[in-house]
Amino acid sequence: MQAQIQGAGSSVFHFLNLPTSSRLNALGGENVSIANDDISMAFVNPALLTAHTDKVLQLNYAYYLAGTMFGSAMYGHNYKNNYFAAGVHYLDYGQMAHADEFGNLLGTTFTAKDICVNLIYARQLGPMFRVGATLKPIFSVYERYTSFALGADVGGHFQTADSTFQMGLTLRNIGWQLKAFYEEDYGQHTEMLPLNLELGLSYRLAHAPLRFSLTAHNLQRWDIAPAGEDVEWYDMLFRHTIWALDIVPKSEKFYLTVSYNHRRQAEMNMTNIRSLAGFAFGAGVKIYKFRLGFAMSQYTKSNFTYQVSLSTDINSFLK
């Protein structure tokens, strides 16, 4: 499914584009501009590490189609104006049955997994600007086929003194396969990672608990439609955008989010069948020293993705 969305045969490791937390899921899958104490935002833009992500631990879990499970974890540590974090996210496709080319079951099973480690660094440059970078070793095993790659993200973030306006820019998944899944006559069949240049804008109203976000993704290429699909220019333009609305007080003790991803809606909606494909919904609340988040998004009719996140600030237990 992911290969069809991004363009089959153009790159590998498309699990890197899945939302790694309920917050990102609720925001339409990607957001590179909102900086707060949610450390999972650094999965998409390393410059979103902040002074508030110090000693924050977050765990995330999602249930995708057909029993596919996705999880992530991240922990942050700050030293003066230098922000560090280490994280991992994985995709487990579950147990599958071996069969021959005629579909006859062989009585054995195999597994398939994708794993990515994230080593993140960000630095504060003045009161309103940060830069960051991520080093990402990536490993996949599908039955007896394995692959290893090395990737990187670079990003920047700007916000006004009152934080009403935030802007983020990031280039994700720079890198290549060091070991391909298979070899051909001329050597290893290596492919690129799913490169993604993103620009994000977020604006929070000064006298109302509303925040609007616009994320423009895949800016490095214009045509992101599936092969063979004829798309009008205005539709293609809209497919590069994700729109989100947050209801969140200044204390940020809770939030409600709704978002719309037009690319997802255009490529996953089913003809003559009503669905909410493209829309995502989420909520979060702070309870004692913990933050709990939940998100729900629909890809096709009767198939929802549910994602939960749990985070805590270790500093709160040391006071």
- The domain segmentation of the chain, as residue ranges, is 2-100+108-318
What is the CATH superfamily name and number for domain 2-100+108-318?
A: Outer membrane protein transport protein (OMPP1/FadL/TodX) (2.40.160.60)
What confidence tens digit (pLDDT) does each residue in 14-26 have? 899 999 999 999 9
| Phi, psi dihedrals of residue 122, rounded to the nearest 5° | -140, 155
The pLDDT assigned to 94 comes to 86
In whole angstroms, give the CA distance from residue 319 to residue 317.
Answer: 6
Calculate the CA dihedral of residues 310, 314, 317, 319 and round it to 10 degrees: -140
The H or E element that residue 26 is part of is helix 22-26
The pLDDT assigned to 2 comes to 41
How far does Cα 58 stand from its chain's mean position?
A: 15
In whole angstroms, give the CA distance from residue 160 to residue 286.
Answer: 25
Report, as ranges of residue numbers, the positions in the chain whose pLDDT lies below 50: 1-9
In whole angstroms, give the CA distance from residue 297 to residue 307.
Answer: 9
Contact in structure between 69 and 78 (CB atoms under 8 Å): no
The pLDDT assigned to 115 comes to 97
